[in-house]
């Protein structure tokens, strides 16, 4: 490898949009010739794909094949790492119409008491489907311990708030991905579970002392690394004063406490030397505000490499052909840093060796048959997980069985979700009279709808959707759409459910994400259930709604075990 190829091997770029200008919002579903030529010329290390890139199995395989062909044209000839964030549940990038949309980690946490093998089996199925599309790296599993109910970005992306549970299921999924032939990524080191803010939009800070971090955030990493060496570990853009209190000068001229991604004490000292990890370390997306909000991306890349990171993820935003020049400029800047002694030559070669070793573990060119995508066995596994995850939040004290109520009101966050549950209920019991309402409706309309029901079923998603769930960062303004979701706090349900119960109606509450809001509404509920999932896996339907319907109608138990201390 020449020096430019060495640097390019340490970059993983995103190509979500590509058009005629830096503000292009045209999804890149075919590989542009200019990008293919750049990959062939420089020997790029990897790419990350988003839902915008992924339309259908045929289109995806064509795109991933074109990417690998461009890499093969390079004099280096090294295969590309083609990656995606496919965690299940909230973070699912592949098209649900063609692939299996498994519930996420917290559903696995709830289901593990009934079916402890599910975490591994889901990872195997997920890995086989990704590999069939030509995707060879999954940035999962998320082994953050969600011990902060107000966490806006992790939440049900975590298995729970028990470090031992997180470690056990995380290990099972890493092993499942490996057996499917796909590389996996533990994230977000040293832990994103106890933050009040989202590193996509700011720079979070965790103030706990080292003793607490050892027993909570770091515990899953230590447990897993004592047994295996995962393919990759992804860093967190989070400040940890107890782990590193040094500072960097930002472009604003101010001193900023170094976040983990840029911290040599955390990446080399803690992860590599103390915990013994010898594999590839990759940053979280560098265009997230946790980094880009105060430091130039070029400096961020250089500081991350100096810290001990191997691969810089999304170091330059590529939206048009002119942006490819920025990649050349970045490569030149890193070369200058090497020449100036800012990066250790021996560590640089060790990093390249780790990346080369990782690529030697890639599956052969022969991909699994597309018939594996959304196959009957995987759909059955999807239903098995959704059924096992349903968890009872309080004993059923309904004055009479739910099926004895004639007029049902489903009052869910939006009509799409209410209609999905209604469809599942009507399929099982066609004679039910069900009215759907949305929490987006005016309060007067909701009171009127309750007056015509004898069973009121409320549902809530807490907290609001994060940037990661929406598909990754493009620009912060895109989050403005979430103002409506954020505005509907669970407190709004209290007077509605209080009135419903006081007027003699039966009340059931469904926590569709993490059930942190249930303690607020529980005094006015006869029953509470949690599904830990709310996504639709096909038009108008979803496995989690089908499972909730069976439990509501008394056709199945709620076997899940609460994976959160807060909800016990």
The strands making up 11-14's β-sheet, listed across from edge to edge, are 280-282, 232-235, 183-189, 137-138, 81-84, 46-49, 11-14, 312-313
- Which residues does the annotation mark as catalytic? 284
ω into 188 cis (within 30 of 0) = yes
Residue tagged 């940037």 (tokens): 467
- What are the angstrom distances between the C-alpha of 391 and each of 91, 112, 503, 543? 21, 12, 27, 15
Tell me if residue 392 falls in helix, strand or coil: strand
User: What is the end-to-end Cα distance of the chain in Å, rounded?
Assistant: 56
Q: What is the DSSP letter of 37?
A: H
> 532 Cβ partners below 8 Å, 6+ apart?
89, 103, 104, 106, 107, 109, 110, 156, 389, 391, 513, 514, 544, 560
19 burial level (CB within 10 Å; 0-12, 13-18, 19+):
middle
| Token code pair at residue 465 | 């959707």
Assess contact for 302 and 333: CB atoms under 8 A: yes
- How far is it, in rounded angstroms, from Cα 1 to Cα 275? 31
User: Partners of 234 in the beta sheet?
Assistant: 282
Q: Tell me the C-alpha distance between 190 and 238, whole Å.
A: 9
370-409 burial, b if ≥16 CB within 10 A, otherwise e?
bebbbbeebbebbebbbbbbbbbbeeeeeeeebeebeebb
Rounded CA-CA distance 197/120 in Å is 31
Cα 529 from Cα 298, distance rounded (Å): 48
Measure the CA–CA gap between 463 and 486, rounded to whole angstroms.
8
Question: Bridge partners of 47?
Answer: 13, 82
Query: Considering only CA atoms, which of 326, 263, 348, 339 is closest in space to residue 9?
Result: 348
Residue 347 buriedness (CB in 10 A; 0-12 / 13-18 / 19+) = middle
Tell me how crowded residue 431 is: count the other CB atoms within 10 A of its CB.
7
Contact 323, 317 (CB under 8 A): yes
Using CA atoms, how far residue 284 sits from 141, 184, 262, 289, in Å, is 14, 14, 11, 11
């Amino acid at each position: 490898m020449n020096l430019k190829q060495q640097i390019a091997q340490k970059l993983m770029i995103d190509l979500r949009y590509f058009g005629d200008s830096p503000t292009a919002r045209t999804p890149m579903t075919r590989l542009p010739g200019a990008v293919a030529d750049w990959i062939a010329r420089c020997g790029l290390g990897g790419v990350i794909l988003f839902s915008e890139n992924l339309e259908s199995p045929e289109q995806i395989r064509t795109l991933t094949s074109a990417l690998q062909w461009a890499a093969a044209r390079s004099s280096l000839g090294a295969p590309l790492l083609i990656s995606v964030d496919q965690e299940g549940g909230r973070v699912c990038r592949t098209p649900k119409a063609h692939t299996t949309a498994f519930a996420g980690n917290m559903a696995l946490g709830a289901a593990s008491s009934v079916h402890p093998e599910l975490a591994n089996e889901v990872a195997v199925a997920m890995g086989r489907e990704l590999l069939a599309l030509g995707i060879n790296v999954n940035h999962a599993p998320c082994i953050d311990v969600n011990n902060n109910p107000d966490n806006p970005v992790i939440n049900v992306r975590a298995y729970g708030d028990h470090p031992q549970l997180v470690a056990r299921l995380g290990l099972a999924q890493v092993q499942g991905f490996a057996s499917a032939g796909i590389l996996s990524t533990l994230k977000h080191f040293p832990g994103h579970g106890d933050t009040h803010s989202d590193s996509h939009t700011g720079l979070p800070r965790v103030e706990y002392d080292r003793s607490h971090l050892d027993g909570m955030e770091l515990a899953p990493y230590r447990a897993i690394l004592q047994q295996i060496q995962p393919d990759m570990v992804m860093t967190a853009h989070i400040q940890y004063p107890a782990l590193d209190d040094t500072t960097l000068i930002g472009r604003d001229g101010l001193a900023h406490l170094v976040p983990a991604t840029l911290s040599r004490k955390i990446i080399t000292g803690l992860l590599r030397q103390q915990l013994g990890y010898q594999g590839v370390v990759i940053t979280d997306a560098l265009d997230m505000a946790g980094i880009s909000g105060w430091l130039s991306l070029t400096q961020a890349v250089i500081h991350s490499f100096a810290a001990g990171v191997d691969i810089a993820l999304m170091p330059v935003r590529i939206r048009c052909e002119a942006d490819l020049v920025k990649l050349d400029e970045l490569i030149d800047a890193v070369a200058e840093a090497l020449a100036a002694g800012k990066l250790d030559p021996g560590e640089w070669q060790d990093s390249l060796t780790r990346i080369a070793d990782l690529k030697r573990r890639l599956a052969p060119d022969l991909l699994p048959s597309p018939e594996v995508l959304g196959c009957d066995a995987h759909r059955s596994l999807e239903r098995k997980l959704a059924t096992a995850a349903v968890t009872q939040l309080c004993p059923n004290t309904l004055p009479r069985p739910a099926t004895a109520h004639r007029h049902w009101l489903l009052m869910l966050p939006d009509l799409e979700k209410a209609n999905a549950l209604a469809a599942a209920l009507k399929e099982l019991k066609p004679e039910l009279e069900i009215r759907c309402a949305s929490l987006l409706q005016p309060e007067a309309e909701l009171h009127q709808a309750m007056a015509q029901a004898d069973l009121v079923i409320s549902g809530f998603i807490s907290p609001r959707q994060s940037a990661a769930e929406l598909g990754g960062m493009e620009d912060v303004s895109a989050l403005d759409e979430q103002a409506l979701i954020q505005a509907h706090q669970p407190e709004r349900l209290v007077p509605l459910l209080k009135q419903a119960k006081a007027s003699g109606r039966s009340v059931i509450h469904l926590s569709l994400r993490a059930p942190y809001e249930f303690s607020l509404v529980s005094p006015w509920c006869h029953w509470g259930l949690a599904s830990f999932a709310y996504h639709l896996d096909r038009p108008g339907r979803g496995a989690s709604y089908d499972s909730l319907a069976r439990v509501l109608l008394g056709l199945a138990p709620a076997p899940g075990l609460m994976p959160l201390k807060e909800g016990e």
